Chain A
Amino acid sequence: NAGVTQTPKFRILKIGQSMTLQCTQDMNHNYMYWYRQDPGMGLKLIYYSVGAGITDKGEVPNGYNVSRSTTEDFPLRLELAAPSQTSVYFCASSYLAGGAIPLAKNIQYFGAGTRLSVL
């Protein structure tokens, strides 16, 4: 019963370093998302993907990149880490049928999160 799996769970980076946060799901969901959650704040969408080969920016994409080469995997890349990127990162997935999108069905399943500190 894996669901959405994120690695690593914790990471400390130095300013300017780069890293990739991994996310994989085994539910055959077409939609995948990356969020960040700062203390006392709601989740903010970084990037999302509606299917393999298709990605789009969310609310806070600057400083991040994504790719979606397979249905299962949606890695998030930080190229030049900055202290402002210290946060908890959540990956999520959902399944939405084509055509008229049943919005009421957009239930998101989240990974356990990656706690990132940039010092």
Chain B
Amino acid sequence: RKEVEQDPGPFNVPEGATVAFNCTYSNSASQSFFWYRQDCRKEPKLLMSVYSSGNEDGRFTAQLNRASQYISLLIRDSKLSDSATYLCVVIQYGNKLVFGAGTILRVKS
């Protein structure tokens, strides 16, 4: 089983739609969680950290469920510019970062 698993997609959605991605992790001792965004042929960039109580940043909401070992990212009112690959990142004990393979989002007009 992979340490961090994501649905690769692609998720094809119209502008204005709400879309959600899930990410599961296998190591229950994982301590910190992030979502990174990667545009085509570009480097990953931090989108947002994921906090235990859940957190929101504009149209983006991140949730953590430690009992079920998954994190989620919700994007409301999708824009064309949201089209990208979204990488789930988990930090395990010892400051080891593990990246998921990413979920592709395509927002169409």
Contacts and interface: CB of A to CB of B under 8 A. Distances in A.
Interface of A: 33, 35, 40-45, 90, 96, 101, 103-104, 106-108, 110-113
Contact of B43 (A33, A96, A107, A112): A112
A42 B5 CA distance: 10
A90 B43 contact: yes
Given A41-B101, A103-B95, 12 more contacts: A40-B8, A40-B101, A43-B44, A44-B99, A101-B95, A103-B31, A104-B32, A106-B95, A108-B46, A110-B43, A110-B45, A113-B41
B4 A106 contact: no
Contacts of A101: 95
Contacts of B95: 96, 101, 103, 106
**Interface SS majority for chain B:** strand
Interface of B: 4, 8, 31-32, 34, 41-46, 49, 51, 87, 91, 95-102
Contacts of A96: 95
A103 B42 CA distance: 25
A94 to B, nearest CB: 9
**A-B interface, 9 closest residue pairs, ranked by CB to CB distance from nearest:** A110-B43, A42-B99, A103-B32, A42-B101, A43-B99, A104-B32, A103-B91, A103-B31, A107-B46
Highest count of chain B CB atoms <10 Å: which of A40, A43, A45, A96: A43
A42 B46 contact: no
Nearest to B94: A101
Contacts of A111: 43
10 contacts: A41-B101, A42-B87, A42-B99, A42-B100, A42-B101, A43-B44, A90-B43, A103-B91, A108-B97, A113-B42
Contacts of A107: 34, 46, 49
